[in-house]
Amino acid sequence: MSTQSTSASVRTLTPSGILQDASGHQTTLRAPMVRRVMEGWAIRREIEALEERLKDLQSKLKGDFQSEGGSISLIVPGVCRLIIAQRESVRIADAERLQAVLGAGTFQSLVRAEVAYKPEPRLIEMSADADEPLAPAIRACLSIGASTACTWRAEK
């Protein structure tokens, strides 16, 4: 195959590209720039596919060690360490009802008001206290969430 025919086939494989500035003015991109844009796009797609694979793998690992509870470290000496940390959060699901249960003064001392209501640790303790007469009513106003995070680190 001659050099000329090789150049022609490369030209036909590289699509044209457009450079558009903020005002909308357009010019044709040169082939080397088009190839770099396409290479970047291919890398971006590979990264997204790898992120999806990692997400699936982490989901399986979380499931494998769900019964362990708390935080655990999986260590491959000289290679890596995976930290799987389980976290729970308590949120106020019905602030108006909780305020009616506790009374306005107590509510204000046990709840930190932001964009969303967040229970203070003392309120969470009250909701879990079997001797607290308001515990069932308080629990009805709260929701508990849980999440598990995976953190990867190089291992020495």
pLDDT above 80 for 67: no
Q: Return all residues near 131 (Cβ < 8 A) that are at least 6 apart.
A: none
Q: Could you tell me if 149 and 75 lie in one domain? A: yes
Q: Could you tell me if 77 and 54 lie in one domain? A: no
Distance CA 59, CA 24 (A): 44
Least confident of 5-14, 23-32, 33-42, 101-110: 5-14
Per-position b or e across 77-87, b if 16+ CB within 10 A of its CB: eeeeebebebe
The structure tokens listed for 113 are 């008001």
What pLDDT is attached to residue 147? 79
| Domain region containing 36 | 21-64
Q: Could you tell me if 78 and 45 lie in one domain? A: no
Nearest to 76 by CA among 18, 156, 2: 156
Count of structural domains within the chain: 2
The pLDDT confidence band at residue 64, using thresholds 50, 70 and 90, is: confident
pLDDT above 60 for 12: no
Backbone CA torsion sign across 90, 94, 96, 99: negative
Share of the chain above pLDDT 70, in %: 91
Average pLDDT of the residues in 55-64: 89
Share of the chain above pLDDT 90, in %: 46
Most confident of 9-18, 86-95, 135-144: 135-144
Average pLDDT of the residues in 130-146: 91
Q: Could you tell me if 49 and 107 lie in one domain? A: no
Least confident of 28-37, 69-78, 144-153: 144-153
What value does the mean pLDDT of the chain take? 85
Distance CA 64, CA 72 (A): 12
Distance CA 142, CA 139 (A): 5
Q: Could you tell me if 107 and 88 lie in one domain? A: yes
